[in-house]
Amino acid sequence: MISSLSIYRRFAAVVVSSLALGILTHNVSSQAAQDGPDLANCSLHGTYVYRNVTADVASFGTVTLDGAGSIRFDLRINTADANGTSGRQTITTIGTGTYLVEPSGIGVADVTFSGIPLPERTYDFVIAQTNDGYAERVFSVVREGGVNDQLVFAEWVLRSAPANAGC
């Protein structure tokens, strides 16, 4: 026969275990909420507006990502005229390549552009804003510099996403 004290001890052990599990679960889920969701290539899917203004060079255009690691740029770059005149020129370039997103939202894209000096560029980027694990805003920096070797710090803002976007 089980004594009243034994039942009380078992009940207390269950209550303490349940409380400990609840606290542990709350701490883990709170940390996950603070860190955000794990991100991946599928977090970047759709067409983003590209904007950069640095050191007398401005560029804009679109960046299209397929969610599986392929990237395409369609850019207009306004810079000083290459002929040394005081005028300006606009360079139109298309770039294609691949990208990889780490769970932290930091990633890299290797891109080959047409019609510009040093056509191969590497973009280091971070997903700055998400909605349910889906990138809405990205900050990027080009390792090699721009057409005039200037710093390129470009922002990508989501313009349109496919209906099945996200992970």
Which of the residues in the chain have pLDDT under 70?
1-36, 84, 165-166
| pLDDT of 20 | 39
- 3-class DSSP assignment, residue 23: helix
82 with 142, same domain? yes
CATH number of 81's domain: 2.40.128.120
Same domain, 28 and 51: no
Q: Using CA atoms, how far apart are residues 13 and 7, in angstroms rounded to an integer?
A: 10
Number of domains into which the chain is organized: 2
Residue 25 is assigned to a structural domain of this protein:
yes
Tell me whether residue 22 is in a domain. Answer: yes
Cα 59 from Cα 61, distance rounded (Å): 7
Instruction: State whether 138 and 87 are in the same domain.
Output: yes
Residues 5 and 54 occupy one common structural domain: no
Residue 161 DSSP one-character state: -
Burial group, residue 157, by CB count within 10 angstroms (0-12, 13-18, 19+): middle
Inter-residue contact 107 to 127 (CB < 8 Å): yes
Q: Cα 47 vs. chain centroid, distance in angstroms?
A: 13
Structure tokens at 161: 């996403």
Instruction: Tell me if 165 is assigned to some domain.
Output: no
Give the pLDDT score at 33: 38
Q: 16 and 58: one domain?
A: no
Answer whether residue 150 is part of any domain: yes
Nearest to 126 by CA among 104, 110, 147: 104
Please check whether residue 167 lies inside any domain of the structure. Answer: no
**Per-residue model confidence (pLDDT) at position 2:** 53
At residue 94, the pLDDT reads 97
Query: β-strands 106-113, 45-54: how paired?
Result: unpaired
Note the pLDDT of residue 18.
Answer: 42
Does residue 58 form part of some domain?
A: yes
pTM, 2 dp: 0.76
**Domain boundaries, position 2:** 1-35
Q: Are strands 134-142 and 70-80 parallel, antiparallel or unpaired?
A: unpaired
State what percent of residues in the chain have pLDDT above 90: 57
Q: Same structural domain for residues 3 and 31?
A: yes
